[in-house]
Amino acid sequence: MYAVTNPATGELIEQIENATEEEVGAAIGRVHRGYDSWRRRTVADRAKIVSRAAELFAERAGELAAIMTLEMGKRINEGRGEIGIVVDIFNYYADNGPDLLADEPMTIKGGEAVITKGPIGPLLGVMPWNFPIYQVARFVAPNLVLGNTILLKHASICPRSAVAIESVLRDAGVPDDVYVNTFASSSQIPAILADPRIQGVSLTGSEQAGISVAAEAGRNLKKTVLELGGSDPLIVLDTDDLDETVKATATARMRNCGQSCNAPKRMIVLADLYDEFVDRLTKRVADFYLPGDPADPETKLPPLASIAAADEVAGQVEKAVEQGATLRTGGRRVGPGAYLEATVLTDVTPEMDAYYEEIFGPVVIVFRAETEEQAIAIANDSPFGLGASVFGTDRERSSRVARQIEAGMVYLNSAGGSQADLPFGGIKRSGMGRELGPAGIEEFMNKKSIRL
């Protein structure tokens, strides 16, 4: 069942039945039929439609943000910000697609060759609720320009976002059978992946969802992109403005109520700054991030996406404290909606679950490192490898540290966030493949070698 439940109040607004097997089969048939004519259109033609989609997303930013606020509790201003990135992504691939897809001539032993860059066919997208429109955009925009067609299964708590995205694309000129939303259930995904008409799958979601989809995709030899969890480290080497550093790091962690795969979830602070950093961060988190209505632009701490999500994160915090962590502030569930007080934990050790698991909510863990080397070791002591950040005043030192971190992305003096032209993705249990930037259009591409 798909359902819209307001996480700020717990009120159930709408329920939508899952698609039947026949409906899912018909949806696969549509994206399969649509592929032949879509791939034959010129790149310029497809790019023009994608560019029009960017305009429509911008025009509808207010209504799209309101849908996200209702469905998963995103602060209304953050929703508008999300649409800003969505517009950038559609524009980036519309503007750069033709160059990124140009033939690549090669001189090879004994002659010449050319690499042509074409689509591979209908793809399945399985997308999460934390950035309901952005997550879809970074999969869909490059693949539409490339010439693939898309069957999209959105999170069960975001049916209105799913419908709104389909309607923007339709109104922009994407043909009916080129982008199709399906209200399939998770249990129908294996059958979709087993269907010979589907050529690949992109999933953004939990580690567990990644394992299930990768297993089915592997069984069926389907190309896979996985963007999974993260427990990104943020190392503070030194600073000439501690308040600014504290503000920047807290802002990055609390963005989207802490529900970003690439939020800095583990702050690792060098010993000489640690005590002062923890005191100021605790004060900032306790005083600034007060729960409120996500539809009110003044609100700083919205609910989590669902009551279940809030209970889960509260449970992780409780367990950490039972296991010996120090609770500096927060940690309590606040009702009646899906609220959890903004939380700071310290003294988390490798014996505690919180040390290695991802905490997907407004919870900061701060670690103390005696040396730069120990900071790097703590950063890398994680099953995840999505993003990381290094804060410091000496760029050479920060770059040296960045190069030693096991992650797909490292940001100097900033944290979290993403941008259309910069590849995004992780290593280790954070997934495989890249989205955004030039790399994002290559994942489901047939780089065909033609020996001339």
Give the active site residues.
227, 261
x/- binding map, residues 405-444, to ligand LJUCG4UG, per CB under 6 A?
-----------xxx--------------------------
Nearest Cα neighbor of 221 from 241, 248, 247, 201 is 201
- Calculate the alpha carbon distances from 283 to 246, 331, 347, 426 in Å: 10, 14, 18, 32
Helices (H), 255-330: 271-288, 307-322
User: At closest approach, how far in Å is the CB of 442 from ligand LJUCG4UG?
Assistant: 20
Q: How far is CA 383 from CA 186, 426, 429, in A?
A: 25, 11, 6
For ligand LJUCG4UG, the closer CB: 360 or 444: 360
Q: What are phi and psi of 310, to 5 degrees?
A: -65, -40
Distance CA 141, CA 437 (A): 11
By CB under 6 A, name the one of 92, 131, 277, 384 that touches ligand LJUCG4UG: 131
Amino acid residing at 386: L
Ramachandran region, residue 134 (left: φ > 0; alpha: ψ -120 to 50; beta: rest): alpha
Q: 324 or 383, CB closer to ligand LJUCG4UG?
A: 383
Contact between 261 and ligand LJUCG4UG (CB under 6 A)?
Answer: yes
**CB of 447: closest distance to ligand LJUCG4UG in angstroms?**
27
Is 73 a binding residue for ligand LJUCG4UG by CB under 6 A? The answer is: no
Q: Among residues 306 and 418, whose Cβ is nearest to ligand LJUCG4UG? A: 418
Written as six digits, the tokens of 402 are 């960045």
Choices 8-16, 162-170, 234-242, 257-265; region in contact with ligand LJUCG4UG by CB under 6 A: 257-265
To the nearest 10 degrees (0 to 180), the angle between helices 61-72 and 43-59 is: 70
To ligand LJUCG4UG, the closest distance from the beta carbon of 426 in angstroms equals 10
CA distance 80 to 74: 10
Residue nearer to ligand LJUCG4UG on the CB measure, 5 or 262: 262
Q: In whole angstroms, give the CA distance from residue 384 to residue 226.
A: 13
Which is nearer to ligand LJUCG4UG, 399 or 419 (by Cβ)? 419
SS3 205: coil
Q: Does 130 bind ligand LJUCG4UG (CB under 6 A)?
A: yes
**What angle is formed at CA 84 by the lines to CA 436 and CA 432, rounded to 5 degrees?**
20
Beta strands, E only, 162-243: 179-182, 200-204, 223-227, 232-236
Compute how many residues bind ligand LJUCG4UG; rule: CB under 6 A. Answer: 8
387 near ligand LJUCG4UG, judged by CB under 6 A: no
DSSP designation for 17: P
Task: Give the nearer residue to ligand LJUCG4UG in terms of CB position, either 67 or 273.
Answer: 67
Q: Is 5 in the site for ligand LJUCG4UG (CB under 6 A)?
A: no
Q: What are phi and psi of 398, to 5 degrees?
A: -60, -40
The two three-digit tokens of residue 262, written as one number: 């690439």
Q: Does 249 bind ligand LJUCG4UG (CB under 6 A)?
A: no
**Shortest distance (Å) from residue 125 CB to ligand LJUCG4UG:** 14
260 touching ligand LJUCG4UG, by CB under 6 A: yes
* Closer residue to ligand LJUCG4UG (CB): 292 or 417: 417
- Binding to ligand LJUCG4UG (CB under 6 A) within 98-127 occurs at none
Binding site for ligand LJUCG4UG (CB under 6 A): 130-131, 260-262, 416-418
